[in-house]
């Protein structure tokens, strides 16, 4: 069975989360870099990774790695790849690029040279002057860093955060992969109450429900590799059937989401239904200041409005003070807040037990973690 060098990409700061996911899936890690984790696998592994990764962004096949300081060297390195064994004559191949700290700094020029090399190599097999590009998609990336070129083929297509359930989003959407990471980085377990008092379109709670029910995040979407002849389509068919059989259909985790905006609450309900977890989450319209903590040992995970992004600064800071008043009054609750506001701890009224730097899209944020008391050992649920 053909082996591939695989790169799983991640949002900056989530490499450790993705690494833990991969180890949990049974993979040996070859290398961890900023924004990427490398491993080895076959076509079935490509299917498994795309189906099951919750925090990873894309699954790429690394086709080549070489040094290049001239366009001739770039052309030659790309041409040496056996594109004729990968892309069919009608393949819709798209070349993108990026460059950092390299002599070949013009990304458009690098893309043009690389595409010419791909075409020239394909023409060694196919008698075609202008390729129609009407068939399956092949997304090729040429990444230059410190004069080293890495050529990859994207098996995922659309990013993995696009699970397929969120057709409707609120004003400030949180990517599904980031929401999943926020849950993974918390102490929440499926037998504990989880609350999001600024739930928006419901992404954090939906991702938690998918975890609790063991629903593969990629189960209801398609991937580019499914239409390639270099990867047997039986792998994705078999792995989707296996994933469907592994769903825990009996569990009902206790998840509660609230928001002041009734419109986004309705969107959240629709998203949860599409994700197959509508029966797991109680969504309600409720201003945060009216929230009451009726139970002990709960978990709050929240991506509240940022002053730079939504609302007025005064309103946002009032919201943060209210969060501190509500959750800070009960030492059994654990609270996890993602925000870009550098004065959050002062407004919340307490220094975080742990703080982690993350990027929410292009926005630099901190993930503030407040650890509550642990539930008694003889407590089976809270």
- What are the residue boundaries of the structural domains of the chain, listed by start? 4-154, 176-215+250-370
What homologous superfamily is domain 176-215+250-370 in, according to CATH?
Vaccinia Virus protein VP39 (3.40.50.150)
Distance CA 91, CA 222 (A): 18
pLDDT digits (tens, 9 = 90+) for 93-124: 999 999 999 999 999 999 999 999 999 999 99
Structure tokens at 361: 């899209």
CB 182, CB 336: distance < 8 Å: yes
Say which DSSP state 25 is in: T
Query: What is the arrangement of strands in the sheet containing 299-302, beginning at the earlier edge strand?
Result: 281-285, 255-259, 194-196, 299-302, 334-339, 363-370, 354-360
Q: What is the mean pLDDT of the chain?
A: 94
CATH class of 4-154: alpha beta
pLDDT digits (tens, 9 = 90+) for 163-196: 999 875 555 579 999 999 999 999 999 999 999 9
Interval 277-335: pLDDT, tens: 999 999 999 999 999 998 999 999 999 998 655 557 889 999 999 999 999 999 999 99
The secondary structure of residue 244, as a DSSP letter, is H
106-118 core/surface letters (b: 16 or more CB in 10 A; e: else): eeeebbebbbebb
**Predicted pLDDT at 172:** 56
State the Cα–Cα distance between residues 145 and 150, nearest whole angstrom. 8
Using the predicted structure, report yes or no on whether residue 382 has a pLDDT greater than 80. Answer: no
């Amino acid at each position: 069975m053909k082996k591939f060098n695989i790169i799983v990409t991640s949002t900056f700061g989530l490499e450790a989360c993705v690494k833990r996911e991969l180890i949990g899936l049974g993979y040996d890690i070859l290398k961890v870099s900023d924004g990427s984790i490398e491993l080895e696998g076959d076509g079935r592994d490509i299917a498994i990774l795309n189906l099951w990764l919750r925090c990873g962004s894309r699954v790429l096949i690394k086709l080549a790695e070489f040094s290049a300081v001239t366009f001739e060297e770039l052309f030659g390195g790309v041409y040496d790849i056996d594109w004729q064994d990968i892309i069919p004559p009608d393949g819709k191949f798209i070349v993108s690029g990026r460059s950092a700290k390299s002599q070949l700094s013009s990304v458009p020029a690098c893309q043009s040279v690389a595409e010419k090399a791909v075409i020239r190599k394909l023409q060694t097999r196919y008698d075609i002057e202008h390729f129609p590009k009407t068939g399956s998609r092949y997304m090729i990336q040429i990444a230059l860093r410190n004069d080293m070129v890495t050529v990859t083929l994207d098996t995922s297509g659309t990013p993995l955060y696009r699970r397929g359930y969120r057709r409707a989003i609120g004003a400030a959407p949180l990517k599904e992969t980031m929401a999943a990471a926020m849950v993974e980085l918390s102490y929440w377990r499926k037998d504990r109450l989880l609350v999001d008092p600024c739930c928006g379109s419901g992404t954090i709670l939906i991702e938690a429900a998918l975890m609790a029910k063991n629903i593969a995040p990629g189960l209801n979407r398609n991937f580019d590799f499914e239409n390639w002849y270099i990867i047997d389509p039986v792998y994705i068919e078999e792995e989707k059937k296996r994933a469907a059989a592994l769903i825990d259909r009996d569990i009902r985790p206790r998840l509660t989401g609230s928001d002041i905006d009734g419109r986004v609450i309705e969107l959240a309900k629709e998203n949860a239904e599409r994700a197959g977890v509508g029966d797991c989450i109680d969504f309600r319209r409720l201003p945060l200041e009216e929230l009451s903590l009726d139970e002990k040992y709960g978990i709050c995970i929240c991506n509240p409005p940022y002053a730079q992004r939504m609302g007025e600064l005064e309103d946002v800071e009032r919201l943060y003070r209210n969060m501190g008043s509500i959750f800070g009054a009960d030492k059994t609750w654990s609270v996890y807040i993602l925000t870009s506001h550098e004065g959050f701890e002062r407004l919340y009224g307490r220094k975080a037990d742990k703080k982690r730097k993350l990027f929410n899209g292009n926005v630099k944020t901190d993930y503030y973690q407040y650890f509550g008391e642990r539930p008694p050992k003889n407590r089976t649920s809270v």
